[in-house]
Amino acid sequence: MRKIVPFLAAAVIATSGVSIALLSTGSAGAKTPKPPVTATCTSSSPSGAGSESGTETNQLFVGCVGSSSKAKVTATGSVVPDVATSSATVYWTNNKTTTESFSYAAGGTCPTFLGLTATTAVTVTATVTGGNAGLTVGQVNSSVNCLYSAGGDLYVESAGPVSL
C-alpha cells in the first residue's frame, strides 16, 4: 500500500501541473485581429458626380484614400469592368492594381445628374480578389450605381462613396 500512495500523489501533482500549464498557455497567445486594409473613394464634385463615374466600359474612381499606409492606392483610379466575367480591374495612377468580382441587383436611390434622371439604379456588391495595391482580399463592400442615358450614350455614376 505504501508504494501506491506516493505513486498516486505523484500522478495527481503531475496532472495538476499539466492542467495549469494548459490553462496558462491557452490565453497567453491570443491576439487582437488586425482590421482589413481598405480604400474609400468620396467626391463632392460640383457637377453632382459621385465618386465613380464614366461609361459602361471605363469608369474613374475619384477622391480615394487608403485606410492605412499599407494601402497603395492613389486619389484616382481607372476602373475597367468586364461584365461578361463579373470582374473589374482598378488601375491606380502609381501603377498598382486592385482586382474585384462583383454582382448587382436592381435597387437604390439616385439623384439627378446634369439635369438627367437615372434610368436604372443598381446596388453593386464587390469583393476584392487580388492585385498589388495592398487591399485585403475577400473584403466585401456595396454601393449604389446610377445609370443615365443621353444622346444614345450610357453614363454610370455612383450615388455616393465607394469602398474597396
Query: Which single residue is written with the C-alpha cell 481607372?
Result: 78
The pLDDT, as a whole number, for residue 9 is 38
Residues 24 and 71 in one domain: no
The pLDDT, as a whole number, for residue 12 is 39
Residue pLDDT tens, the chain, 164 long:
444 444 333 333 343 444 433 344 445 566 888 899 999 998 755 455 568 888 888 999 999 999 999 999 999 999 999 989 999 999 999 999 999 999 989 999 998 888 899 999 999 999 999 999 999 999 999 999 999 998 888 888 888 888 99
Residues 164, 126 contacting (CB under 8 angstroms): yes
Residues 1 and 68 in one domain: no
Residues 26 and 71 in one domain: no
The pLDDT, as a whole number, for residue 44 is 56
**Domain encompassing residue 72:** 39-163
The whole-angstrom separation of Cα 145 and Cα 68 is: 26
Residues 11 and 56 in one domain: no
The whole-angstrom separation of Cα 49 and Cα 159 is: 8
Residues 99 and 77 in one domain: yes
Residues 10 and 80 in one domain: no
Residue 59 CB partners (closer than 8 Å, separation 6+): 52, 53, 78, 79, 81, 156
Residues 88 and 10 in one domain: no
The pLDDT, as a whole number, for residue 160 is 85
Residues 24 and 50 in one domain: no
HEC profile of the chain: CCCHHHHHHHHHHHHHHHHHHHHHHHHHCCCCCCCCCCEEECCCCCCCCCCEEECCCCEEEECEEECCCCCCCCCEEEEEEECCCCEEEEEECCCCEEEEEEEEEECCCCCCECCECCCEEEEEEEEEEEECCCCCCCCEEEEEEEEEEECCEEEEEECCCEEC
Residues 52 and 21 in one domain: no
Residue type, 9: A
First to last CA, the chain: 72
Residue 35 CB partners (closer than 8 Å, separation 6+): 67, 68
Residues 61 and 94 in one domain: yes
Per the structure, how many domains does the chain have? Answer: 2
Residues 89 and 108 in one domain: yes
Residues 152 and 72 in one domain: yes
